[in-house]
Amino acid sequence: MSGFRVQNRGLIDRHKTLSFQFDGKSCTGHPGDTLASALLANGIKIMGRSFKYHRPRGVWGAWFDDSNAIFNISLGAIQLPNCPAATTYLEDGMQARSVNTFPSARFDIKGVLDWFSPFLPAGFYYKTFMRPNWHLFEPTIRKMAGLGKLDGNIIEEYQSDQIHQSCDLLIVGAGPAGLAAALSASQKGSSVVLVDDHDIAGGSSYQQQSNIENKPASLWIRDQIAAIAGNGGRILLSTTAYGIYDHNLVALIQDSGFGHAPRLWRMRAKRILIATGAIDRQITFANNDRPGIMSAVGALEFLGRYGVLVGKKIALLSNNSHTQNTANLLREAGAEVETFDTGDNSPVAIGGKKLRALNIDGKSHSCDVILASGGLTPVVHLWRHGGGRLEWNEAIQAFIPAQATTGMRAAGAANGIYELDEALADARAAALDQPSPKVQSAYQIKALLPDINSKKRQWIDFQHDVTVKDIELAARENYSSVEHLKRYTTLGMASDQGKTSNMAGLAVMASLQNRTISEVGTTTFRPPFVPVPFELYRGVKRQQLFNPPKRLALEAEHRNVGAAMGEYGGWLRPAWYGDDDPHNTIRKEVISARTHVAIIDASPLGKIEIMGPDAEKFINFVFYNTLTTLKPGKIRYALMLSERGIVYDDAVITRVDQNRFIISCSSSHVEGVNNALEGWRQDGNDPDRIFVHDTTQNWATITLSGPKAGELLSKLDMSIDLSPDAFPHMTFRQADFLSVPARISRVSFTGDPSYEISVPTLHASALWSAIAKAGKSVQAAFIGVEALSILRAEKGYIIVGKDTDGETMPHDIGFSQPRLRKESAFVGDRALHTHAANGQNRRQLVGLMVKGNECKIVTGAHLIDQSGSKPRSIGYVTSSYDSPTLAHPIALALLENGTARIGESVAVWNQGDIRQATIASACFYDKGGGLLNA
Amino acid sequence: MRDDRDKWAPAIGAERPAIKNTHLQLSVLKTQRQTLISGPYKKCLDICKLPRATSWPQTATGNNYAVRLRRDRILVIDGPSLDDGWHDDAGVSVSDMSSAYILVEIKGEAALDLLNRGADLNVDIASGSVVRSFRGFDVFIYRWQSETQFRMHFHHANLEAIWQLSQAFEKQIVEYNRR
Amino acid sequence: MTKTYSAFNIIKEAFKGHKGWSPAWRSPKPKAQYEVIIIGGGGHGLATAYYLAKNHGVKDIAIVEKGWLGSGNTGRNTTAIRSNYFYPESCALYDLSVRLYEKLSIELNYNVMFSQRGLMVVFHSEAEMEMAVRGMNAMMLGGTDARLLDANEVKQRAPLLNYRADARYPIHGAVIQERGGTARHDAVAWGYARAADALGVDIIQNCEVKDVIIEGGTMTGVETNLGPIRASRFGAAIAGHSSVLARMAGYQLPIHSYALQAFVSEPLKPVIDVLAFSSTYGAYISQSDKGGLVIGGGLDRVPSYGQKGNMPMQENVLSGIVEFAPALAKVKLMRHWAGIVDVTPDSSPLIGPSGVEGLYINCGWGTGGFKAIPAGGYLFAHLLATGSHHEISRPFDPSRFQSAQLIDEGAASGIAH
């Protein structure tokens, strides 16, 4: 194999040589090479195999328009699957392996599939593999499918940077048009961001060997860049604009090198200019998928950027007026070039793994490369993402940008303008949002009409092996809309998403249906323009920074006394304290709470203040229970319902004074309750008379619960009269703690006398210390959420969302009075009187007991009615514990018509096992409630 | 039973060393007072005796100022001591929030770079509110004293996470400047 | 003309250059009058027409589809099929669908590639496992297969997932429905279309309903871009656009339409054999037979008819899937898109009369339409043919919103909303 590197061409750094391997073969290249260009320079033509028939494939295009050369690449410990060779820059030591081949692209054993191709037309799998069962065939099909292999390793530092940015004008593409536009706009004072997906700006200018505005191209480019930067414009290289989203948000992916996660720029642009250039359209002819058949523009790109001449004896097949220029450029670089017109001359590529000749009209012309130039196709994907329309331009035989939403323009080749000076003028006008000058184009192109009657196979989608015959078959079977065609044949669904195959496919469809390409239309262009790693969307949002829990101000104190931590309601809270067996520890915590006093950090509990002259009216409307009768200094338990009458949350509500209430809702519902309150506030009320402030995090709350709670509280010296008459259950006092305002609510979640002491969070530590110190003398114990869950269950106090579900209404959990009595309007009222709400078999909260020596019931077991032929669920167990206080298991459940069945037996079903339980009242501890008033 | 105590590094709280390097300084500030006032905007300003509440991209100055959270809500920094609750005479509601929000100062040439890694902040697009989403956390962000110095408020319960987030962003900025 | 699909016929046709295959369906011009018109040529509409012809012997049926058949949500979903629901009514509905899917390829003579690879809902805490048990028992009692897996079993079934110590949400276990899985969505539409066409159904594509013709309170026809077409009965199965027709005909529907985004990666060799779902990570994943990883998550909660979504939801879902399976960080997203889903207040479908005499509706499937195509079609056909509900569809009649006998599957997860 002789090398195809030429002198005096290319932007590569010839001073440095890089070594790499491809399919086990050692090769060399230079910095600036892509894997594709380096392989071509090493004389390697076969770089992959097609997906279905495993036919040998060479590289087609020099950049994102190639869908054939896809490699798994390892570099050091890093392995990345599905790397496109034409857009992956070479690094020293890379080991590249063509995907889906064995043992290599050159000698793939599955190449035999091509012999069976007549039996494997488009969609063949829809017509067979049905009997006996798809499952028999699926494993084999799956193994044959897929491209690269995922190694399952995690690259530890692989983390994407993500930045929000904005600008006046985002220009996509730093070719001559984009550069000219960037300079014009930045000169006028616009903040400009210019992005280009190559590592060196200049776009297609390297394909030519000519001047730009009387300067050598590279000099012109350099001067533009300097001037743009001088005007404050930013240029991002190796950056691909891959999607446009609502309100002109453009997603940019900036490459950071192999194995390094790319950077995401979320660019908000006032205006967007698409200067993405154009790619060559493939030509449909017999055997047009052979290695060595390439895009003509691609060949010029390989030559201009990488100094690689793709062949020595080149056949250039073309339908347009760029032919001579292309041929001359290749000849200047040292190739023999013969040019051929498209037309009624039945081109056939001769050769298998190695291209030998191009037959035209039966006459053989020897060559080692066939360059196909079917005419330029503007790259309009982003235009479509942004909602811009396309129109078919008959003169240049291409879809070009037409109408757009405000703020988007196209310029240069992307706009169908291929002459340099016209493109520059177009770009400068677009940059300043002025109308583009009319263009007199010298570009001539003949319509490409595929020979749909050829007996030989002609390829449309190279990766998916979709041929003209497949499209004919699709048309014959009436998959005739362009989307059906695509999905049935899989044309354009490969990893290149049809960048080159779409136009060829549409032309065939049009011929078959006797319609124009314009009438056939295009499929939907979707982001991302090129595949982007999932990591791009992740960035810092990983591990601990993925939805992190809220942290308590007293966390250090908890850890100091050995707290085990757990996530509850979005907070990291003490689950229990100590290093002993958790079940024993929790048991002891419950017993301490019942016999002495428990200390609980209740800071996450909501504290939402409702203030204003209409506060009372408002809170009475939003909550189920009557609150107009709540006096200052008093506390009442209340339920918040949804409009459907479902219990959304429960809370204790404190009235501080005439115009001020504090809602202490569940810690897990604070945001939801706050939003609901704000929503209702703004709905039909005078907003200047009601205010909702979420002050939850301003206050730290420590709860003392147990027979000795009052005694412990008195030791804190807050000058409060703690006698039952002065400070009864469900009342509220304000006091001072060390000259800082404190509040004490006498409410209980455990069934024992309980005081919730709140101080501003900045003083939480001081309160905690005082309590811990004073607690020693009354054998106080710190208890965590697990113990608290048991204590409240013993008392039958619900946890909303655990002991209620999305159907539970207040009268299902024992609160029926407001539904029957409350006269003023409240949220959910109407829903409480529907047919369903009045149903006889509603699931109601009950308790469950088992026989003395039996183990506790499994939470989530269902209660069943066995009277029919099959067991029917009539409810389920919501909470279940071994009660340390009562020394037997207890459970709470929602059961159809449960409260009328107390005392009866019910069958409990768990994964097929059945046991019996007795229905009881939901309260097991201090049924009379006398303890609370002690 | 699952014990996550070792899964999360212990919370350090507000007394923590600043993030400091040549282009970025992030530190927790102590303020006297933070007061939330809701009501008609003018009345909110009247009760705390300030001429305006800073929005975006305006610059707050001094130790005593207010920032605008909503049409009808401001947060006053180091303002007068006011009772919590409804003020009938002034026509506003007040809640002391001095313990609720952590206040962080961010300065240095990379300050905006840090903020832009978390929030869609655009100095060219004015906003009547300083409320932002910073990588999913509700925060208030505004300029203070100069165009390149910023302050950020957020609930103290998010301090560990936002600090960790800022450290991660800072590392990314260093990496970005290096390449 | 070769009509029957089989390996034998493929071989036979191979020798003839595949020139003998008959069209999968005709492209008929609409007649002036039919017995039944189905509005909407997606999976549900096509299946309805098929069952009307096959099970009920209805002769004169047309489907009017404004685009190309299967172009709506049927061609845009993540292809999951399952019946792991909470309420017995839902189990009956979706399991009917699973059972019909099991036989569908052979019945339609079209390979829809229903792969019953197992659908695994993963749980990440003790509290979540309690809910898992509740849900699993509901399924088992409701007649659907479900099994509890512990963390080790989950790891065996799906080694790709995150079992690292620093995983944000450790895996405690899962509930698996072995009979759940995936199918080729386009094939379902095409299979029903071909079978319906073979039974004489006229599938009229590129025929958009511009208005309804109501005479004396009864719907008697539709105005389309191809002119008016009349019928005795109409069935609308148009998913996210249901409100548009409702407005035309003057009835109301309790639905909101939202974008639901979906994602597919570049094709890879097999890496995951089950469908894995995590509510806590907010994402789920399966692998198509071609090798792409198909990923979905929650709704873009801004009501819209635009079949696309925006970046914040993309970040939520994809960051969730990478935390769920960190090896995927370097896998590349190839394409993303969205459908428009019509969501009802109780996350259950609407099957029943519209309120306008002669017009019946099958919609409100929200994010769960694809799995229900066979059942939706089967039951809607029953309703259209007989004028009354099959016992499985009766609970889903829209009148349930008056009696409030809702079947709230969202509620089943313990959340009030």
Residue at a domain's end among A403, A422, A442: A442
Structure tokens at A572: 């990291």
Indicate whether A622 and A763 sit together in one domain: yes
**pLDDT tens string B16-46:** 999 998 999 999 998 789 999 999 999 999 9
Strands A239-245 and A249-254: antiparallel
**pLDDT tens string A831-856:** 999 999 999 999 999 999 999 889 99
Indicate whether A750 and A822 sit together in one domain: no
Domains of chain B listed by start with CATH number: 21-178 (3.30.1360.120)
pLDDT of residue A806: 87
Indicate whether A867 and A896 sit together in one domain: yes
> Is A646 part of any domain?
yes
Confirm if A233 and A132 have CB atoms less than 8 A apart. Answer: no
pLDDT of residue A721: 87
Indicate whether A818 and A781 sit together in one domain: no
Q: What is the pLDDT of chain C when averaged over all its residues?
A: 94
Q: Please, how many CA atoms are within 13 Å of residue A578, restricted to the half-sphere of its CB?
A: 15
Write the CATH number for A407: 3.50.50.60
CA-CA-CA-CA dihedral for A128, A133, A137, A141, to nearest 10? 70
Using the CB atoms, write b or e for A425-438: b if 16+ within 10 Å: bbbbbbbeeeebee
Structural domain of residue A237, as residue ranges? 163-279+376-442
Partners of residue A650 in chain C, C-beta under 8 Å: none
> Is A529 part of any domain?
no
Q: Which of B2, B6, B134 to mutate to test the interface with C (most CBs of C within 10 A)?
A: B2
Phi and psi at residue A480, to the nearest 5°:
-100, -20
Confirm if A597 and A705 have CB atoms less than 8 A apart. Answer: yes
* Nearest CB to C319; choose among A469, A527, A537: A537
Q: What is the DSSP string of chain B?
A: ----TTTSPPP--SS-PPEEETTEEEEEEP-S-EEEEESSHHHHHHHHT-S--B-BS-EE-SSSEEEEEETTEEEEES-----SEEETTTTEEEEE-TTTEEEEEEESTTHHHHHHHHS---TTS-BS--EEEETTEEEEEEEESEEEEEEEEEEGGGHHHHHHHHHHHHHHHHHHHH-
* Nearest CB to C137; choose among A141, A541, A911: A911
Structure tokens at C173: 């276990």
**pLDDT tens string A124-139:** 999 999 999 999 999 9
Distance from CA of A167 to the nearest CA of B (A): 9
* Nearest CB to C327; choose among A121, A150, A484: A150
Measured in Å, how far apart are chain A's first and last C-alpha atoms? 98
Residue at a domain's end among A388, A418, A442: A442
> Is A347 part of any domain?
no
Indicate whether A403 and A381 sit together in one domain: yes
**B98 CB contacts (<8 Å, ≥6 apart)?**
A698, A760, A762, B31, B32, B33, B34, B35
Distance from CA of C391 to the nearest CA of A (A): 17
Amino acid at position A298, single letter: G
pLDDT of residue C411: 66
> Is A236 part of any domain?
yes
Strand residues in C88-137 grouped as ranges (E)? 119-123
Neighbours of A490 (CB within 10 A): 21
The ranges of chain C annotated as CATH 3.50.50.60 are 29-79+185-253+347-412
Interface check for C266 against chain A (CB to CB < 8 A): the answer is yes
Q: Any idea what the Cα angle at residue C362 is, between residues C357 and C367, rounded to 5°?
A: 150
Residue contact C318–A131, C-beta within 8 A: no
Those chains having 3 or more beta-carbon pairs within 8 angstroms of chain B are A, C
The ranges of chain C annotated as CATH 3.30.9.10 are 119-178+257-343
Given a cut of 50, whether residue A1 has pLDDT beyond it is: no
Which of A925, A924, A907 is closest to A916 using CA atoms? Answer: A907
Please state the domain count of chain A.
3
How far is it, in rounded angstroms, from Cα C356 to Cα C365? 21
pLDDT of residue A2: 42
Indicate whether A815 and A712 sit together in one domain: no
Structure tokens at A924: 């097991």
Partners of residue A537 in chain B, C-beta under 8 Å: none
Partners of residue A262 in chain C, C-beta under 8 Å: none
Amino acid at position C335, single letter: R
Indicate whether A809 and A925 sit together in one domain: yes
Distance from CA of A264 to the nearest CA of B (A): 10
Q: CB contacts < 8 Å between A and B, how many?
A: 156
Confirm if A542 and A157 have CB atoms less than 8 A apart. Answer: no
Interface check for C303 against chain B (CB to CB < 8 A): the answer is no
Which of A132, A134, A144 is closest to C114 using CA atoms? Answer: A134
Q: Indicate the pTM of the whole model.
A: 0.96
Residue at a domain's end among A756, A775, A791: A791
Q: Which residues make beta-bridge pairs with A609?
A: A662, A693
Quick one: pLDDT band at residue B179, thresholds 50, 70, 90? confident
Q: Please, how many CA atoms are within 13 Å of residue A921, restricted to the half-sphere of its CB?
A: 8
Average pLDDT over every residue of A794-810 = 95
Distance from CA of B153 to the nearest CA of A (A): 13
Using the CB atoms, write b or e for A356-386: b if 16+ within 10 Å: ebbbbeeeeeebbbbbbbbbbbbbbbbbbbb
Indicate whether A808 and A718 sit together in one domain: no
Residue-level length of chain C: 417
Superfamily, domain C119-178+257-343: D-Amino Acid Oxidase, subunit A, domain 2 (3.30.9.10)
CA A348 to chain centre: 46
For A897, the 3-state DSSP assignment is: coil
Among chain C residues, CA nearest to A117: C14
pLDDT of residue A763: 96
- Looking up tokens 């932002």, which residue turns up? B132
Indicate whether A859 and A733 sit together in one domain: no
Phi and psi at residue A249, to the nearest 5°:
-90, 120
Specify the CATH class of C29-79+185-253+347-412 in words: alpha beta
Q: Which helix (H) or strand (E) holds C374?
A: helix C373-386
Average pLDDT over every residue of A475-497 = 92
**pLDDT tens string A681-715:** 999 999 999 999 999 999 999 999 999 999 999 99
Indicate whether A697 and A760 sit together in one domain: yes
Interface check for A445 against chain C (CB to CB < 8 A): the answer is no
Partners of residue A164 in chain B, C-beta under 8 Å: 116-117, 119-122
Which of A6, A33, A7 is closest to A19 using CA atoms? Answer: A33
> Is A922 part of any domain?
yes
Q: Which residues make beta-bridge pairs with A862?
A: A876, A909
Neighbours of A569 (CB within 10 A): 17
How far is it, in rounded angstroms, from Cα A406 to Cα A170? 14
Distance from CA of A17 to the nearest CA of C (A): 28
**Cα distances (angstroms) measured from residue A316 to each of A41, A60, A227, A229, A436:** 20, 14, 39, 40, 34
Partners of residue A469 in chain C, C-beta under 8 Å: 17-18
**pLDDT tens string A761-790:** 999 999 999 999 999 999 999 999 999 999
> Is A753 part of any domain?
yes
Residue contact C417–A806, C-beta within 8 A: yes
Which of A91, A46, A102 is closest to A69 using CA atoms? Answer: A46
**pLDDT tens string C289-308:** 999 999 999 888 777 777 77
How far is it, in rounded angstroms, from Cα A481 to Cα C206? 10
Write the CATH number for A819: 3.30.1360.120
Residue contact B1–C125, C-beta within 8 A: no
Among chain A residues, CA nearest to B176: A161
> Is A886 part of any domain?
yes
Indicate whether A722 and A843 sit together in one domain: no
Indicate whether A205 and A245 sit together in one domain: yes
> Is A400 part of any domain?
yes
Residue contact C170–B1, C-beta within 8 A: no
Q: Please, how many CA atoms are within 13 Å of residue A252, restricted to the half-sphere of its CB?
A: 30
